[in-house]
Amino acid sequence: MDMELPSPEQVAAILPKWRAEHPRLDAMLERYGEPVKALRHMGLLLWQQGDLGPATQMLAGAVSLSPAEAPLWSGLGGVLFAAGHRAEAASCIKSALSRDPTQATDWLMLGTIHSTEPDTSVAEEAFLNALQCDPNSPDAVISLGLLYTRTKRYAEAARCLKDAVAAGAESPAVHTCLAQTLFNLGDFPGAARSFGEAVRRQPDDPPLRQKFGQARFLETILDCTLEDGLAAYQEAAGGAPEDFDKLTRDSFHILSGYGHLEAAIRLGEALQARKPGDPIQAYLLAALKQKPMDRAPDEYVTTYFDKFAETFDQQLVEVLDYHGPEKLHALVASQGRPLARMLDLGCGTGLAGPLLKAPGRVLTGVDLSPRMLEKAAARQAYDHLIASEAIAYLAQQEHGFDLIFAADFLVYVGDLAPLLRHAARLLAPGGLLALTIETTTDGTYRLLPSGRFAHRPAYIEDLGRGSFGLLRQEPTMIRLEANRPVDGALMLFERV
């Protein structure tokens, strides 16, 4: 282990000093007659009082005098963890477990120490071992449930947290966590029930009540009207929604994302009746109703992304696990081609800019949304940023490019014939066309309830035939939607 233990001789030498400094240790030594027990009790007492330094020294002393005793290692591991020495703590707990692997609390501690690491397998195994040692340990089930929630394994999380509740776990945190997990699984009635339990135990928590309200709103609106949903919200949250637009907009996306299309249409129609001119609502409702469309209307794209620009990076990358620019850039870079003139279509906030830009390369970004372009400009990676509809921009260009790059942009364009035609005209021979798409297995392209288009890869290949050769095609997870991965592909074409 990394922490150095004192030798038994060193402990014996320092004991008189400790006795003088800690009269209670003196009394314990009198009572127990042997130092190991006294040091252990004194160490635990000091830990309880928050004196972590002396507590560590005494518990280390006890271990040094009797290293075969597992509980001494556990105590030392515990105080080291409390003092923030994770590696040393883990090593002590492992020493305890190697002497006695039947202690659930030690496995629990080991899991807790490892639970914040990116690789959660050690923590998971430790919590499972804890449960094997003590199948009724609510702490072990809760810890496992929280670990699964953090790693987005919601079905497993829900199972653990339900078990914990069934075994008598009472805390509002467990009910809240179960509620959020069920919500993430799209089980709104279950989420409403669990949020209700949490609110019953913790009534003076406005954000919790709002979540309860949203779950009740969604549960109600599955079968009833907007007004019924709002009444349910009000009763649960203890008042009308603070932000009606946010509640209803989020709920519309959630219903459509989880496949409750009828309820989403009903809510969408009620919202459109209240705000007939809203281009976002109009388009998403049209998408839900499967109205035939070639691409998303400019007004929708501009309004939607202008609103979204501020939180786009955080939302896409951190919440929705979106890494399109990195993945597509890696594919392009693998070709090792000279790319003097590059075009980033639908560049958005410019996540691809810093990856593509290099000395001697000219990078142009095109996007419809001025707010997204402002964010891209702040990255200082683009030589030119143009506010324009992308196909219209291509149509006006005469000078060529070596790379046309489109990450998560074709999801807003259904019919790709014009884009492929212009790309063939503008790319120099050997030039690259790099695309990410959401995939569908039938037809050519399909407008999804999310308002995004999915394409069949073979459709794009067919369009490019004669002008483009497919260099690479790789399946990829585009991002999460309703907490589930969205299937997609990276495609890299070469102008022949």
Q: Contact 240/230 with Cβ under 8 angstroms?
A: yes
Contact positions with ligand SAM (CB under 6 A) in 319-358 = 324-325, 346-348, 351-352
Q: Contact 183/258 with Cβ under 8 angstroms?
A: no
| Rg of the chain in Å (alpha carbons) | 30
Q: 197, 189, 243, 245: which is closest to 217 by C-alpha?
A: 189
Q: 378, 441, 371, 369: which is closest to 409 by C-alpha?
A: 369
Total residues binding ligand SAM (CB under 6 A) = 22
Q: Mutual orientation of helices 172-184 and 206-221 as an angle, nearest 10°?
A: 40
Q: How far is the CB of 342 from ligand SAM (least distance, A)?
A: 13
268 binds ligand SAM (CB under 6 A): no
412 binds ligand SAM (CB under 6 A): yes
Contact positions with ligand SAM (CB under 6 A) in 278-307 = 296, 301, 305
Whole-angstrom CA distances from 481 to 118, 152, 276 are 22, 12, 27
Residue 136 or 315: the one with the smaller Cβ distance to ligand SAM is 315
Residue 165 or 410: the one with the smaller Cβ distance to ligand SAM is 410
Residue 155 or 333: the one with the smaller Cβ distance to ligand SAM is 333
414 binds ligand SAM (CB under 6 A): no
Residue 128 or 387: the one with the smaller Cβ distance to ligand SAM is 387
Select the residue interacting with ligand SAM from 42, 368, 385, 424 (CB under 6 A): 368
**What is the signed CA dihedral for 310, 315, 317, 321, rounded to 10 degrees?**
-160
75 binds ligand SAM (CB under 6 A): no
Alpha carbons 42 and 273: distance in angstroms, whole number:
71
Select the residue interacting with ligand SAM from 321, 389, 415, 474 (CB under 6 A): 389
* Cβ neighbours of 34 (radius 10 Å): 10
Q: How far is the CB of 459 from ligand SAM (least distance, A)?
A: 18
Q: Which stretch binds ligand SAM (CB under 6 A): 184-192, 285-293, 409-417, 487-495?
A: 409-417
Q: Contact 331/264 with Cβ under 8 angstroms?
A: no
Q: How far is the CB of 408 from ligand SAM (least distance, A)?
A: 4
Residue 81 or 453: the one with the smaller Cβ distance to ligand SAM is 453
Residue 111 or 325: the one with the smaller Cβ distance to ligand SAM is 325
Whole-angstrom CA distances from 136 to 159, 267, 297 are 14, 44, 56
User: What are 136's two structure tokens?
Assistant: 């009724």
Q: How far is the CB of 487 from ligand SAM (least distance, A)?
A: 16
Q: How far is the CB of 380 from ligand SAM (least distance, A)?
A: 17
Residue 351 or 381: the one with the smaller Cβ distance to ligand SAM is 351
Q: 427, 412, 320: which is closest to 367 by C-alpha?
A: 412
Q: How far is the CB of 282 from ligand SAM (least distance, A)?
A: 16
Q: Which stretch binds ligand SAM (CB under 6 A): 29-37, 118-126, 248-256, 362-370?
A: 362-370
408 binds ligand SAM (CB under 6 A): yes
Contact positions with ligand SAM (CB under 6 A) in 436-475 = none
409 binds ligand SAM (CB under 6 A): yes
Alpha carbons 32 and 85: distance in angstroms, whole number:
30
Residue 208 or 413: the one with the smaller Cβ distance to ligand SAM is 413
Residue 33 or 292: the one with the smaller Cβ distance to ligand SAM is 292
Q: 249, 219, 246: which is closest to 235 by C-alpha?
A: 219
Alpha carbons 380 and 354: distance in angstroms, whole number:
8
**Residue with nearest beta carbon to ligand SAM:** 348
Q: Please name the residue ranges forming H helices in 258-351.
A: 261-274, 279-288, 298-308, 312-313, 324-333
- CB neighbour list of residue 71: distance below 8 Å, 6 or more residues apart: 40, 96
Select the residue interacting with ligand SAM from 25, 110, 191, 390 (CB under 6 A): 390
Residue 225 or 311: the one with the smaller Cβ distance to ligand SAM is 311
Which residues of the shown chain bind ligand SAM in the complex (CB under 6 A)? 296, 301, 305, 324-325, 346-348, 351-352, 366-369, 372, 389-390, 407-409, 412-413
